[in-house]
Amino acid sequence: RYFRLAIPALVSILFAGALLHAFPLGVHRLKVLEPHAWLSSSFDGNTPGIWTMVRAGLVSTFASNATPDNSALNFNQVLWTMRIEFGGSVAIYLIYGLGPVRWRWVAIGAFTCIALASNHFVYMSFVMGMLLRENRERLPRRLGWAALVAGLLLGSLWPDVADRTYLPHLSGILELGLGNGFFAVVGASCLVLGVLVVRPVQTLLTLRWPQFLGRVSFPLYLLHLPMLLTVFAMVFGAIPTPVLICAFIATSLAAAYVATRWGDEPLLRILSRTKA
């Protein structure tokens, strides 16, 4: 699992580093035009060399917290999820691979307590995934559409939503619009539940374009932001925004397909041979 995540993370950092060296003024230009918290942690004309990139991809991505001084995030901010995904994956492997079936619920309960006690509510997404799996034959089909609507609504909450819509303020993991808090996990779980039980949605997701987007989703996730902060940042404002958006989407999908076809899928085939 480490290599499944670390190798794509390293490639994305090498890709981002190359673009940051080639277009060193892109991030600085965006900082002036559209200030954002992620931009403040991005390298801005001070991009380090190859060995820093390698260490960031293979070590910092997993060993450091998601903070601005994490060199992996200085290259590619979307990598903040990698440490969480790796930790949750290890927990799932331990729960399902090592312990007897009769102790599975105890292990899931223990993992839940650890996640809550350590104030890492985002790991509850793995708990919800395990609960959906364990109850996949008893999922409430009548609630499918309601779950989809609830998931879309909860997933559409943005930061500072309380201030802008006069909703009550909640603190900590209950903050509305928090990307790794209570409502984000509930919203994602509702979407998965709805997909599992609503047949028209399942049919829709089997069509060509949804299948293609699913196929390239991981490389698309890793590669889109470095291009946005460099190549497209340099032309931001110089060409009409609708044209820029269309060009960015097309370029991101093309890059993701290339990375999937000649990188990610061969990697999966190689790693699959290592399974016991």
pLDDT digits (tens, 9 = 90+) for 152-180: 999 888 877 877 777 778 888 888 888 88
Mean of all residue pLDDT scores within the chain: 91
3-state secondary structure of 239: strand
With 60 as the cut, is the pLDDT of residue 66 above it? no
Q: Using CA atoms, how far apart are residues 33 and 107, in angstroms rounded to an integer? A: 49
206: amino acid identity, one letter: T
Q: Using CA atoms, how far apart are residues 102 and 90, in angstroms rounded to an integer? A: 20
Cβ burial 176-189 (10 Å sphere, 16+ → b, else e) = bbbebbbbbbbbbb
Output the pTM of the full model: 0.90
Q: Using CA atoms, how far apart are residues 272 and 276, in angstroms rounded to an integer? A: 9
pLDDT greater at residue 195 or residue 32: 195
pLDDT tens per residue, range 236-272: 988 999 999 999 999 999 999 999 999 999 999 999 9
Q: What is the mean pLDDT of residues 83-104?
A: 90
